[in-house]
Structure formats: C-alpha cells, structure tokens
Structure 1
C-alpha cells in the first residue's frame, strides 16, 4: 500500500477538500481497485472528482480478459449495485471519464444528500470476473454557515464549515451581497441590524454561505377565513422570513401575558370572550419584529335579555311607561315586543313606550332578542297600582294639591285670630288666693257664611290690632 497525504484540489465548476489520500485497495490474484482518496469533504454546490485505477489478470485459463462494463454506485437493490447514471437522485449531475484501467466520477452541484460512500465496480468477460473496490470513498458535503452568538445588545457572527480547508483559513464577508474590505474570522453587529451577512473562504468566493438576517415583518392569517362562529375551531398562523429560523409568540391586545408559543395559535372551540385583537412576535438571535393586529370577531347568538320598566315602582293609571330590553350578541340583536296571549307584536326596537297606561294594559310582556345565530326572550309583568278614589287618577291628585294649598293659607290666619282674641279677654278677678287654677273665658267663635267673610273680618281685626300696637 502506498503512502497517504493531505491535499486541496480544485475541480471544474467548484472545489473539493481531500482529507486523506490512500493508494491501492488490492485484491487477490491481480484483481484490485485503487482510490486516489478514501475521504473527501466538499462544499455544498461545488463539484467533486472521485478518481480510481483498477487492475485484473490479463489471461485466465488461456482466455484473454476484457472489461465489458464499468460504473460507480452507492446503493444496492435486489443484491445488485445501482449505476449512478440511472439513479434519479443524480439525474443530470453525474459524468464518467473513463480510460484504460482508470475511471473518474464527477458530481456537480453537490447536495448534502450526496454525502455517501462511493464504490467502483468493473465487470469482465471471465466467468465470475466482477470486482468491487472496497471500502470505497466517503464523501461529506458541508454547507458553509454563519454561526450567530448573541450577548446583550450585540451579536457575534462566525464563518464555519466542517471541512478543514486549511490550518488558518481566511474568510471573506459580504454585506447585503457586497464584499466587505476586511477579511476576518468573525464580525460583531448590533441587535436588530436589518442587514444580511454572509461569508466565504478566501479563494473560493463562488461558494458563499447562506445569508443571516433578523426576522422581516411577520404576516398573520386566520383559518377558516370568513365568518367565525362560537364553538368552531379557529387557527391563527404567523410567518416571516428569517435566518436563523424565527421563534414565534402570540399576544392579545392589552394582555401582557403571551397566549401561545409557536407559529400557530389554535382555538379548538372559540368563545365570545376570545374576541379581540391579536398579534405575533417573531424573534431570532439577530432581532425581533412584531406583526400587525388581526381582529377576531366571534359571532354568537343573543344571551338572555334583561328587561326593565321606567319609572320604577307602582304604575299610575294614565301615566307613560317605558319598557327597555338589552342583550349581548354578535351581530347586534334586533328586538321585538309581545304581549302574552297576543299573536301580533306590540312594537320593535329596544324601547317600547305605553303613553297612557290603563287597566287593560296590565299583563305579561316579553322581549325577544334575535340575530342570525339564534334568539332569546325575557318576560316582564305590568299592573296598575291600587289606591283610594281620590288617589286613583291624576284628577284626584290635583284635588289633593289644591286642598293642601288652601289649608296652608288658612292656618296662619286662624292662629292670628286666636292670638288677638286672647289679648282682648281680661283674666277673672274672683280667683281665691288659695286657688291654683287660672281660668280664661273666651267667647264662642263666630260663624261665617263662607271664606270671604272670614278674610274680611280677619283683615279688619288686623287693622285694629296694628292701631293698638301703635298707641302702645
């Protein structure tokens, strides 16, 4: 077996890294295959050349040996190796350059799925004259990457590859596709720097790493689209373009706690309380962006309506009464008023007014709240309040008010008359010294025909009283 060596070789349209060069894998009796390299590391998108030479006995039992077929393979089906030229995974990317006792496999536009062990096989005209070169060539396809490490408000970018292209490689950096002047192993950028950064190995600038960048403005969608009905299943989805891939968090407006993590927020049975504005946040080590609001309006049937009467308390016959109905619903409910045992509605709208309430208006009234999702109703009982004949209607009430005013006007006059007559009547002088009772005699009150006579007399007495007070 020949010696091993490390080398870096260029191939048409790309480059490969040969980690180990090993010579012959020699078979017995002159059969054998020698691979130039047993391990190859290549960058994604590049081209790799795998070369081998092979030997076989020129004559066996008096018959000359000729090679009838040569090919490379990675798979075996039904115990038979599959020629790479017929493998659908390599269609249009495989070429053989074979000459006498040598053959080169060329694979272009390498993919990570091309990482495999490649073996060469040749078939001769001799009985049993087939040979497979083992252990073959191990190809590893590496994707050059920018590693992102975040600390506080700064981010460190490092160019990385599993292919060791050199002991101290130089790296070229690109900002939004434009080559930067400095050549260095790493870069430091600020968080939420919205630029795109990529790198390449110096000398192989045709094979850049995928760019890294913070999330772009996320978009949100709702499924199913259209009307959202209470009790149905609803899914909100958040998506954005970012590298490294973004992580997602869902929030509801005016709610400081997150509702869900992941690109989807799922309501298995959505309720009216879930209505509101939602948004998502997309974040990676390079920064964070939040989406615009998406409004979720849940449609639901009216809840049990509440009914009220105004004014409250007893209903006076002849007064005006307002009945009010309200219910929570989406879309907004429409209201209809009915009286028990009557088929036709009494009114529509939230407020039903009875302007001149009478005894025949007494009874049960109910309000029906209805929208496209359903209906609900509530009942209210109305009756005229019981009272005396004087209080039974508004005319009686006015009589009470008038009588009260007259009494209030007469009370001061009566008190003044009593006080004046008391001053005119002298105390009795026949009272014995030992008597403890004091007797005051007063004339019987005069009788007047009507209130006008009383007012005239009272006025005259008032004038006499004022004249006497002036004399005093």
Structure 2
C-alpha cells in the first residue's frame, strides 16, 4: 500500500503560483491540494473558496415590462459555490429573492426595476458580486389629474390643471376638452390665466411614451359665472290671435342657474312683476296684452336684462263708434260727414249701409253726403271688418226742410227775447234808484252826472207792459218833475252842451219803450192834467 502525505504549498490567488512551507502548503487564496508522499509532483485537484461572482442578464438588450428576464450569478469555486440573490435597499436578513444561480422573472414588472447582487459561498469562503441595475421599460400608468384651486372656480380667476403618470421613459402629456386637443407638451400642466364660462366642461389628459399611451379619467371644471344676456322666445311662433294660449320663455346661460322675472314695458317694475318663472303664460291672451315684454336673469354673481320682445295680438274689430258732423240738426242742402272708428288688429276696413238697403252706400271711415235731402233721413250703420271678424254700429240721420228751419229760428228768437225782458227790467229798476238819490243833491257839481246815469233813462224800469191797463199818472208826473228840476239845475252850473242830456238815446226814445195795445200816453198832457 502506498504512503500518502500532506503536501502544502502557497499559491498567489491572482497568479495561481504556489510556494511550499513547513508541515503543509499555505495558499494566499486558500487553495488546497494533497499528494502521495514521494509523488508531490502529482498533487490532487485544488480546493478553494469562491472567486468574485459575475452577474449576467438575459436578454442583454432593453428590458420591457411583461417580458421574461433571467439574472445569472457564477463564481469559480471548488467545491462548487451556492448562490443567493438580493435586491438593494431590501433587508438581506429577510427572505432572499432566490438561492439559485439564476433569478428568473417570468413577467418582469416596473416595480422590479432596481439594483441586484448575488453571493457565492462554499466551505472555504463567501464572495458577493457587484450590483447590476435592472431598468424595466414600461408604458405610462393611469394618469392622475388635479385642479388648483380646488375650491369654487369663479369666472376670471387663474386655474391650473395638472396631469402626472408613472412611465419609463418619462411620458409626454396632451390635454383635451371633450375630445378637442388643447395642449401637447412634456410637462403635464395646463394653465388658465383668466378662466371663462366657455372653459366650463370635461377635461382629460393623455400620457404617452414609445411603449404605450393611456388616458386619464375625466375632470369636470365647474366655472361659476353671472348670467349671460337672456334670450326670449314666444310660442306659438306664428300669428298670435286673441283668446289663444301663448307662452313666453326666458333662458340664460348662468352658473349657478339663474332666477327669472318677467316685466312689461312702461309698467312700473317696482310693482308686482308679471311672473317669477322662466315662462310667462297667457292661457287666453287679450288685445290689452299687446306690448313689449322683457325678462331678467339673476344669480349671486350678477344680473342681466333681456332685449324687448313685441307681442302683437291680432283680434277682430271691437264695437265701432259712429259720429256725425255737424252734430246739430242737418239742414236740407247742406253737407254731412258720418264717421266710423273701431279698435282692431289688423286695422279694420269700413263699409257704410243704409237700413233696409242691400247695397253699400260707401267704403272707408268717413261717409260724406253732399246736398243733403229729406230722403237721406234714416238709420245708417257702419260695418268694421278684418280677417279676424266684423262688428257694426248704427246712427240716425234727420234732415230738416228749409221752412221748418226758419220757423225754428223764429221760435228760438222769441224765446230768447222773453228770457231777456225780465233781466232788462231788473237792470232799469236798479238804475232808477241810483238816479233818484243823485237828483236830491242840487249843490253837487254837474260834472258828477254821468251820461250812463241818464235819470229819465233810469226811470225806464217803471215801464209798464200792458194790454190796455191805464198808466200810473202819479208816477209819470213825478218823473216829469224830476226832469224839469234836473234841467234847471244844469243851467245854473254849466252850459247845457257839456251835459248833452238830450243826446241820451234811451231818454229820447223812452216813450217808445212803453209797450201797449192802445194809443201811446202823452206824458206832457198827463202833466198838464195833473196840474
């Protein structure tokens, strides 16, 4: 039997050279072998700890999410090393990723990106590899969208929309408003310097790189704003007929929704409004409802007033009013105008008829009859007509003959005279009283005697209207005495020509004022008889 002995030698771990030492071989790299004594030149295979492990990745190109990836750890060791895989920043005391030479990802994910290392170990030692970086490429994940400010957005304010998405490589972003492209850039921000009501709506963004694209969920931008100019509509839109149902509608773009109020032009708006609803309803519209209407739209951010809308209610003629000019008695041979008018929409057409006659006498508002004759007397009626209806009214025309008119004038004059006589007598009596008081003052200058106060004239109130009764002689006597006294007084103070009593027309004709059915009374004779 052969005699085996232990042979020791040193070997440089890097060069593999060895050097012998007493009682064995010392290896810098802890490599060991044995040989039969006497046959040291034929040692056994060397045993040693693992060398620095090398790590490889397959496939060696770009790693895309979802693909299969294998990491391999290898180390020169004798006996063969055992391997363990780790990921950086993961506690190595926890369960290792793998205890196999290969770490296999059957469907690698973006979360698997990172730095990996492995260890190789046998009874003689342990060695850790350098890190290898696994960069998993993947399409953008679902973007998140946000708005700033997050509170109520008021028209005119500044607003920012932000879109962000996890992607490798980094994504490019595009903003849309209800399928309309707004902005495309690498940053996910969209800015409104002064947002308007037109910007209200649904927004979303798209995140995209070369591995894929994905749209965000919708983001609703609710812009608050005052009412816009209200629009007014009328139903039915065709011709509006009296008695029909009509609806006026007011609408305005506003956020929050507007409150509506209806008014009629030229009606005090401080009074009760017509309606506080979006619709103003006439269940049976009347001609008096014609006019201009408007509405207001109001919310907490403002108030706007619509333009006017004209409601033109069509209706048949109302009862016509008829008149005659001249309005007094119509004299034979004169001219007369008969006039007819009626409230109607559209304007009425007028036709004149005479009672019991079928054919019309005239058309138009005014019917003129020249050289009127008695046979023109009678009832005339006017018919007002439009496409919505007709209505008529009657008046009576009376034509006076020429002799009848003369008799009426005479009778009228007699009545006037009879009414004036009592009034005249009252005036004369008052003047008489004034004259009597003035004649008693003989020393008073004659200049104070006014022509208007003719004493004899003033005594005309004593005029007696009779049909045969005797004249009061005593009263006449007194009158004559006053006349002579007045004449003598005048001669003493002033020439007669300045008084001109004889020129008093009433005085000169006073005897004519006595109305009787017998012979006139001679004042001078009566005076002589009384003497």
TM-score normalised by structure 1 residue count: 0.44
TM-score normalised by structure 2 residue count: 0.40
Normalized per residue, the structure richer in strand is: 1
Higher RCO, 1 or 2 (CA under 8 Å, sep at least 6)?
A: 1
Normalized per residue, the structure richer in helix is: 2
